[in-house]
Amino acid sequence: MTIPEYPLEKVMDIKKKRVDEAEKVVAAKKRELEAEREKLRKCEEERDKAVQHKIDKLNQLRDELDRGTTTDKIQQMKNYLKVVEERVLVEQKKVQEQEEQVNIAKRNLEIAQEELKMRRQEVDKLQNHKKDWIKQMKRELELAEEREMDEIGQVLYLRNMRDAP
């Protein structure tokens, strides 16, 4: 006698496919997170350039003030500094927005990892159930074979008793 097919085998196959899909989603979310981090790095680079430009222009203004220059030139430099400061603020806002995008990508990755963990646990539970089911089926088969052997033994014994003089 052979053990019958596990009744939940098709369910297990479906759950394994879901694990594979969840692994693909996690990989995609990791790529998205890396892309968002790269965008953040570029935004920070642009902001740092703008800040450095502002510092350079401030130093240039101080040098001009130390040397003594016309008020028109000083006013022109101050106006340009305001423009540079606005650019710094714009770049800082871009950095903050991109940091938020990175945080969103992190949360999405965490959610996908939780989903993957849950799917793997479902498969593990089914695999454990299958092992227990196989053990139980083997026990039942052994018991059935024992009963059959006992029955055969009893029939042989009774036949021998009947045939004996």
What is the full DSSP assignment across 143-164? HHHHHHHHHHHHHHHHHHHHH-
The answer to whether position 129 is within a domain reads no
**Does residue 138 belong to any structural domain of this protein?**
no
In a domain, 2, yes or no: no
Mean pLDDT of 5-27: 94
What distances in angstroms separate CA 110 from CA 17, 28, 157, one per listed residue? Answer: 20, 12, 70
Q: Pull the structure tokens for residue 156.
A: 């042989």
pLDDT above 90 for 138: yes
The answer to whether 95 and 40 have CB atoms below 8 angstroms apart is yes
Residue 69 lies in a domain: yes
Q: Looking at the domain assignment, is residue 74 inside a domain?
A: yes
Cα 98 to Cα 146: distance, rounded to the nearest angstrom:
71
| 27-49 mean pLDDT | 96
| 23: in domain | yes
Whether 141 maps to a domain, the answer reads no
- Residue 109 falls within a domain, yes or no? yes
Structural domains counted in the chain: 1
Binned at pLDDT 50, 70 and 90, residue 75 comes out as confident
pLDDT class for 1, splitting at 50, 70, 90? Answer: low
Q: In terms of residue numbers, what domain contains 45?
A: 9-120
Mean pLDDT within 18-27: 96
Instruction: Using the predicted structure, report yes or no on whether residue 65 has a pLDDT greater than 90.
Output: no
Query: Domain of 47: which CATH number?
Result: 1.10.287.1700
Which band of pLDDT confidence, cut at 50, 70 and 90, is reported for residue 131? Answer: very high
